[in-house]
Amino acid sequence: MRLQGKKALVTGASRGIGKAIALAYASEGADVAITARRADALAETAAAIRERGRTAYPVAWDLTDVARAGARLAEVKAALGGLDILVNNAGVLRLPADHPAPTPEAEWDYVMDTNLKALFFICRAAAEIMTAQKGGVIINLASDAGLRAAPHPYGISKWGVIGLTKGLARQLVGHGVRVNAIAPGPVATEMMGWHPGKPLDAPTLPLGRYSLPEEIAGVALFLASEDAAAVIGQTLVVNSANT
C-alpha cells in the first residue's frame, strides 16, 4: 500500500473529487480527516473510509472561517496522530464563465474567499506542522481555467492557486515538504452540472468525454506517494484541451 500509516486531510470531501480522493487514500492505507460545511454531508464518505479499515475523522468547517485554520489543523493532527498529507480540494463555481458582466462583488468575494483565501490560510497552517516535523505533502486542486487565466472569478482564483503552489513549493522544499497542484479539465461532478445518467461525452476534450472523479484521485494518489518524491511545484493537467 502506497500510503500505509499516513495521515491525510482532504477538504470538500462530501462528494465528487474530494470524496474520490479520500477513498483512494483510505484504500492505500491512510487515515483520513474530511471536511464539509455540514457534518451530516460527510457521513457517507466517513462510512466508506471505515469500511476500508481506516480511521475517518469528519470535520464540519466552513473554510472561509480562516481564523480557525490553525486550530482545526491542530485538531486533525491530534485526532489522527499526525498530518502527512493535505489536499485542498474544496472549491466553488456558482456562476458560469459566460455570465454577463459585470460580475457582482458578492460573487467575487464568495469565490475568492473559498477558492484562494481559505486555501492560503490552510496551507500556512499545514506548513507550520509539516516544517516542524520535516516532511509532508500539500496538493492543491487548481483547474485548466487557471492555466488559461480565464477572466472570471473562478479562473482568476485558480490562477492564484497555481501561483501559490509554485511559491510554496520553493519555500518549503528545503523543509522536506512537497507542494504540487492538479488542474483538471471538466470532471463529471455536480459542480460541473453533471448528474448520474447524463452522457459523459465532451468532443472538445482529448478523451472525448468528461474525466471521472476517480481519475483525478489517481493523480492525487501519485502525488501523495513516494513515487512523486522528485515532483515539486508542478501543476499536473488532466484531460484539458485548453492549455
Active-site annotation, residues: 154
Nine-digit cell string for 121? 490560510
Cell numbers standing for residue 114: 473559498
Strands (E), the chain: 7-10, 31-36, 56-60, 85-88, 136-141, 177-184, 235-238
SS3 content of the chain, % helix, strand, coil (to 5): 45, 15, 35
Q: Distance between CA 2 and CA 27 in Å, rounded?
A: 9
Task: Establish how many alpha carbons lie within 13 A of residue 76's alpha carbon, considering only the half-sphere containing its beta carbon.
Answer: 30
d(CA 184, CA 1): 25
CA 171 distance to own-chain centroid:
20
